[in-house]
Amino acid sequence: MLLKMPAQKKPADKIAELQDKLRAAKAEAKEAEQRQFAIIGAAVARLLENDAEFKAAVLPKLQASLTTPRDKTAIEKFLV
């Protein structure tokens, strides 16, 4: 009785599979980074709302660093 060897993937299939894995890894890394920034942003927002000393020290620097109108509008709620 002859044993059959498992079918080997073609090089093009191997390349496509590796590219898919790479894309998935990059997407996962990007999502993790976005989650991290969301957590940090929420913590900074809480500090700006609740800690007057932090607000006095950080808010002017935040205002100076923001360049887009959307970002400036987002920070305006802390100016009260």
Domain ranges of the chain: 11-78
The residue type at 76: E
Residue 73 CA to residue 80 CA, distance in Å, equals: 13
Please report, rounded to a whole number, the percentage of residues in the chain having pLDDT higher than 90: 50
Q: How much is the mean pLDDT over the chain? A: 88
> What pTM was computed for the model?
0.60
The answer, yes or no, to whether residue 40 has pLDDT greater than 80, is yes
Of residues 7 and 23, which shows the higher confidence score?
Answer: 23
Query: How high is the pLDDT of residue 21?
Result: 96
Other beta carbons less than 10 A from residue 34's beta carbon: 10
Residue 58 CA to residue 52 CA, distance in Å, equals: 10
